[in-house]
Amino acid sequence: MDFGVQEPRRTIDSRFRQPPAFMVTMADQSVTEGQEVTMSVRICGQPKPMLYWLRDRVTVKTGPRHTVRETTDGTFEMAIKSAARSDAGIYTCRIINEYGTKQCEARLEVKGKARF
């Protein structure tokens, strides 16, 4: 057997092989309980990266209060409808495709409502 010869493979244009990258990363935020929070990132990569949101290294479960959407310009947003103190923490956005993994982090601080 000759292992030196590679089997013929169609050449994939390098434009279609790109490790994931952030064009825009999240920023730290500080909000008051009950406010809506939106964290957003803009990403690129080929094939299109899978995107994961984590809070304190635990995957954020989407639901009535936590929603994730992609806008037309390739921005991904995670919105928290009515921030609670339990939403505070370090948020990580992780993007993965077959050519690599990248992540960015931001801190969310949720302050209690002023009581008069």
Task: Identify whether 3 is part of a domain.
Answer: no
Residue 90 pLDDT class (50, 70, 90 cuts): very high
Task: Identify whether 71 is part of a domain.
Answer: yes
Q: What is the pLDDT of residue 74?
A: 80
Tally of domains within the chain: 1
Residue range 63-72, pLDDT digits in tens: 999 999 998 8
Residue 11 near residue 17, CB atoms below 8 Å: no
Question: What is the domain range of residue 59?
Answer: 22-111
Task: Identify whether 12 is part of a domain.
Answer: no
DSSP 47: S
Find the CATH number of the domain harbouring 98. 2.60.40.10
Residue range 43-56, pLDDT digits in tens: 999 999 999 999 99
